Structure 1
Amino acid sequence: MEIDQAAIIANWRDLSARHAGGAVAAVVKADAYGLGAALVAPALFAAGCRHFFTAHLGEALALRPLIPGAMLAVLGGLGPAPGADVIEAFVHHDLVPVLGTFAEITTFAAAAGRLGRRLPAILHIDTGMARLGLDDAELDRLAQAPEPLQNLDLRFVMTHLVAAETAEDPLNAAQRQRFAQACARLPPVKRSLANSSGIFLGPAFASDLARAGAALYGINPTPHAANPMRLACRLLARVLQVRDVPAGAPVGYNATWRAARPSRIATLGIGYADGWPFRLAGRGSAFFDGAPVPLVGRVSMDLTTYDITDHPGIGPGSWLELIGQAMPPERIAALLDTSPYEILTGLGARIARVVLPAAAL
């Protein structure tokens, strides 16, 4: 898979220009949405990005040496009943937990008290997602007993939008109002509101820090309109073998596909163990020189077969494009009734990531 660092940086700069309220953070969880966080985060850091988010502590620990001095926050926070080793990891490596329960707040505040210094943290308010964050009851509790916050250096208070990709959804305005009401009950702190799609909701959703994820990698943040972002990756797979099969011959497991004519079949070295979806059987296409090449038969663990009868230029060693401008993640996701996020994050470690350097930027 080719990773286009220039496209990622260009996307971040475009999102930063659109978000007039403040900075734009890079969300690099799930190995930078499957592209490779160790390849993405340093390039963004070199371009000027100074705020990063991961989902888990382990992800942040792996990235910390690569982006020294940047704010590196963990969306999953401390987790339930964190041990001393977890607290130590956050403190020693200058990581910022996103605290979403009263228990997390008091635990981290107590650690700060023992150390005799305020520790950095982000406060998460749930305004409608019902996943992580302080709900109404816990926000009431914190508002009535805010003393633990005195031990914390709150960098931001944040919430997460439920339906920002649908601009007309009334949930967006409702969440913005709930967030403003919640912030009014807390000490003055910088705010973080918009995700990738939220940046496109306009100035009313601007804040001190937006958190861009999928849009950085080229997934459309405005799915009901043309994609304003640059696709930042291209997935290629190599032809291992080509064989001729007669009309009526089966290809692949359980003979789910039979040749309707004498056909040439190319076997590619990629399968569902690499994250190439099993359910693409009979639906997907690769591309060669801009022309579609149909996937035939089942996707197996390590191999996938394509009908190259109409493509005499394809032979052993040829590369077919599985994800690219002609077949972006959104199009593959539509074939499978899933999310383009799943397509990218599912790509496995056996797929080599090759960097296209962003030297010009």
Structure 2
Amino acid sequence: MPAAEFAPLAAPDLSGGVLTVDLAAIVANWKTLSALAAPGAAAGVVKADAYGCGAVAVGRALGAAGCITFFVALPEEGKALRAALPDAAIYVLNGLPPGACEAFAAARLRPVIGSLAELAEWEAFVSATGWAEGAALHLDTGMNRLGLRPEEAKALALRPRGKPLFSLVMSHYACADEHGHPLTARQLVTFREAAALFPGVPASLSNSAGLFLGSAAQFDLARPGYALYGGNPTPWTANPMRPVVRLDLSIVQSRIVPAGETVGYGARWTAPNTSRIAVVSAGYADGLLRTATAPGLAPVLGYIDGVACPMVGRISMDLAAFDVTAAPVEKVQRGDTIALLSERFGVDDYARAAGTVGYEVLTSLSQRYQRRHVGG
């Protein structure tokens, strides 16, 4: 995206930070992933409020770009998305809650059926109402989380065929983001055999990382999520995706800490020299992961005017501190900002420094931030 669109903002008046989401970058990432999915298609996974980026805004941008199939985790997420995308196919990954058939039908949501109990309830509803918008059948291929076991799928396939009950048959990779993991190849074989039990039903297996396994591993529909939002789907190599989010945190106070004095709860960080510390108006209540300054991990880096400033001391509920000694003094005054997530230090960088995954970084970003969508 043009550099000007990711330029730091003036400090927000009322919130502790500004989260900027580049919708044009999300669309560009979807088009890149769609090319890998060809001749199949790529859906948009927008669960968890589009990984913290805003499901309605993201859904509308992807819909305008040609995406017609979306995945959420919960029915309530699907209902909110339906209001923005009246014609899209919306699948609910976490299955069918007891007694929820009518609510699914009212919002035209497609359950992802992952157990025999869900299947029995859904079949009874479809038989009684004639509802024909579709559902997905989830097959367990070795993750042991959701889905029918292979023997259950075989028994289902042997039943007399009536009207098609499913519009999609799917499974989910467990280790596609771990290069060369043997379970990935086993899952591909298992799924290919299981999907063949349901001829004529479109099949879906690849997540973001699965799309980079080559054309032989692709089926009719891919379900990219993390990569849409700029996360690296191939952690063993350079990130092929465009960055999507930027987080600018508001500086509450800049102060001098003499050498030998400590910062924050637990006195974890000691100033090695006389240091300038900037305190920002965000903490673990805003998704700044408390593990981010644990001993032994890489430093979390915020940036001021292109200068790297490490986060220091324990993160508090509503406050965090950065060592801004190297930054220009005039740029670290009350009301200025420090960029925590940016082109220089992205979601995956932050995740490594916090000892976690970028998925957690994105989905932890608090609603207390002022959100700004650009490029859409």
Q: Decide whether aligned partners of structure 1 residues 117 and 280 sit closer, same or farther in structure 2, where only a CA change above 3 A counts.
A: closer
Are positions 1:2 and 2:14 aligned together?
A: no
State the distance in 2 between where 1:170 and 1:247 align.
Answer: 52
Residue 146 of structure 1 deviates from its aligned partner by 5.0
Q: TM-score, normalised by structure 2?
A: 0.90
Distance in 2 (alpha carbons) for counterparts of 1:143 and 1:123: 11
> Do the aligned residues in 1 keep the contact of 2:307 with 2:326 (CA within 8 Å)?
no
CA distance in 2, matches of 1:107, 1:146: 18
| SS of alignment partner, residue 67 of structure 2 | coil
Amino acid at match of 1:210: A
Tell me, in whole angstroms, the C-alpha distance in 2 between the residues paired with 1:304 and 1:332: 15
Note the 1:84-103 alignment, pairs <5 A: 86-103=100-117
Q: Hey, what's the Cα distance between the residues in 1 that align with 2:74 and 2:27?
A: 24
Quote the residue 1:53 is aligned against: 71
Deviation at 1:152, TM superposition (A): 4.7
2:237 paired with 1:237: no
Q: Structure 1, unaligned stretches of length 5 or more?
A: none
Shift of 1:306: 1.2
* Structure-1 residue corresponding to 2:10: none
- Inter-partner Cα distance in structure 2 for 1:258 and 1:163: 40
RMSD of aligned Cα (Å): 1.6
Deviations 1:77-106 (A, max 9, x none): 103xx11xx111111111100111122122
Q: Please state how far the C-alpha of 1:57 moved relative to its aligned partner.
A: 0.9
Give runs of aligned pairs for residues 182-201 of structure 1, distance below 5 A.
182-201=194-213
Give the 5 Å matches for 1:30-109: 30-79=48-97, 82-83=98-99, 86-109=100-123
Q: Does structure 1 conserve the Cα–Cα contact (< 8 Å) formed by 2:105 and 2:131?
A: no
Compute the displacement of 1:117 (Å): 4.1
Runs of 4 or more, structure 1, over 6 Å off, are none
Contact 1:248 1:259 in 2 (8 A): yes
Q: 1:213, CA displacement in angstroms?
A: 0.3
Task: Please give the alpha-carbon distance, in whole angstroms, between the structure 2 residues aligned to 1:193 and 1:336.
Answer: 30
**Distance (whole Å) between structure 1 residues aligned to residue 180 and residue 265 of structure 2:** 46
Query: CA 1:102–1:202 in structure 2 vs 1: closer, same or farther (change >3 Å)?
Result: same
**1:145-156 residue pairs with structure 2 within 5 A?**
145=159, 150-156=162-168
- Is 2:283–2:319's contact at 8 Å kept on the other side of the alignment? yes
2:16 corresponds to: none
Match of 1:292 among 308, 313, 326: 308
Structure 1 position 310 matched with structure 2 position 326: yes
In the alignment, is the contact (CA less than 8 A) between 1:113 and 1:151 conserved in 2?
A: no
Letter in 1 for 2:49: D
Distance 1:226 1:127 in 2: 29
Change (3 A) 1:356 1:102: same
Tell me the TM-score normalised to structure 1 length. 0.93
- 8 Å CA contact 1:101, 1:138 repeated in 2: no
Match in the other structure for 1:247 = 259
**Alignment partners' CA distance in 1, 2:277 and 2:136:** 54
Aligned mates of 2:209, 2:273 — CA distance in 1: 47
Distance in 2 separating the partners of 1:267 and 1:10: 35
Cα offset for 1:30?
Answer: 1.1
5+ residue gaps in structure 2?
A: 1-18
Residues 248 and 260 in structure 1, CA contact (< 8 A), matched pair in contact too:
yes
The CA deviation at 1:337 is 2.3
Within 2, Cα distance between the matches of 1:338 and 1:294? 18
Instruction: Please tell me the residue identity of whatever aligns with 1:308.
Output: V
Corresponding residue for 2:142? 128
Report % sequence identity: 45
Whether contact under 8 Å (1:112, 1:119) holds in the other structure is no
Is residue 348 of structure 2 the alignment partner of residue 336 of structure 1?
Answer: no
Q: How many residues align?
A: 352
SS of corresponding position for 1:16: helix
Q: Is the Cα contact below 8 Å between 1:109 and 1:152 reproduced in 2?
A: no
